[in-house]
Amino acid sequence: MNHCSNCGSSLVVTTPPGDDRPRFFCPACNTVHYENPRMVVGCIPEHNGRILLCRRAIEPRLGLWTIPAGYLENGETVNACAEREAFEEARACLTDLSPYLLFNICHINQMYLMFRARLTDLNFSAGSESLEVSLFDEKQIPWNDLAFTVITETLRHYFKDRVSGRFTFDIFDILPSGFAFSTPQEKRQSNDDLAEHPSPHASQTVQMD
Ligand SMILES: [Zn+2]
């Protein structure tokens, strides 16, 4: 950020009085330009045990698969965002939305809220941001061709929880070099995993661009 969006003057970086961190500040009009994380909202659209994936028609990760997800707009509820993204990317209509996973991705200043949802019908088709859309059962998931780490983690947890039928809301951190579990319950699970694997970091590290 170089120039003030209020008056066009050059900005400086300074810690405003009473604040505890540097901000972009305009000395001409005394405006502090705060920068805060952006939220992405997505959903896992389910239909009779299969889930809907979209193959991306746009960069980044053109040609790779994702669940419908996108940036929350100003004035938009998270539920409405999930429904809008499903329609824009897959012409799919959702019902029974249930909040499922929240990911902190602090190194890129983003957070992802993932819902579970059911398709109201099978009248889906590729939207302008998708090359194709299709239903997949667990064995068909293109694990090596998923677009983002957060998508892989979402689907991994979804299929793990589906075994028990308990889809409890959880919060996770995704780190530049891998992921970390945020909740006490999942930390215990993580420690169990560490005990099972001789090289836990090698086996669990995931890259996040
Ligand atoms: Zn200004």
This prediction has a pTM of 0.83
Q: How far is the CA of 18 from the centre of ligand 1 (A)?
A: 20
**Given this model, what pLDDT does residue 61 score?**
95
Q: How far is the CA of 37 from the centre of ligand 1 (A)?
A: 22
Residue 160 sits at φ, ψ, to 5 deg, of -65, -45
**Given this model, what pLDDT does residue 58 score?**
95
Closest CA to 57 of 152, 155, 126: 126
Q: How far is the CA of 22 from the centre of ligand 1 (A)?
A: 17
Protein residues near ligand 1, an ion, with CB under 5 A: 4, 6-7, 9, 26, 28-29, 31
- Flag whether pLDDT at 184 surpasses 70: no
Q: How far is the CA of 158 from the centre of ligand 1 (A)?
A: 47
Domains detected in the chain: 1-35 (2.20.70.10), 38-164 (3.90.79.10)
Span 192-209, mean pLDDT? 38
What integer best gives the mean pLDDT of the chain? 88
Q: How far is the CA of 11 from the centre of ligand 1 (A)?
A: 8
Q: How far is the CA of 6 from the centre of ligand 1 (A)?
A: 5
For residue range 139-182, what is the model confidence (pLDDT) as tens digits? 999 999 999 999 999 999 999 999 999 999 999 999 887 655 66
- Flag whether pLDDT at 193 surpasses 90: no
**Given this model, what pLDDT does residue 177 score?**
74
**Given this model, what pLDDT does residue 156 score?**
94
Residue 103 pLDDT grade (very low, low, confident, very high; cuts 50, 70, 90): very high
Decide which of 25 and 202 is more confident. Answer: 25
Q: How far is the CA of 25 from the centre of ligand 1 (A)?
A: 8
- Flag whether pLDDT at 207 surpasses 60: no
Q: How far is the CA of 35 from the centre of ligand 1 (A)?
A: 15
**Given this model, what pLDDT does residue 209 score?**
41
Q: How far is the CA of 27 from the centre of ligand 1 (A)?
A: 7
**CA neighbours within 13 Å on the CB side: how many for 97?**
18
**Given this model, what pLDDT does residue 180 score?**
54
Q: How far is the CA of 106 from the centre of ligand 1 (A)?
A: 28
Query: DSSP of 8-58, one letter per residue?
Result: -PBPEEE--TT-SS-EEEETTTTEEE----EEEEEEEEEETTEEEEEEESS
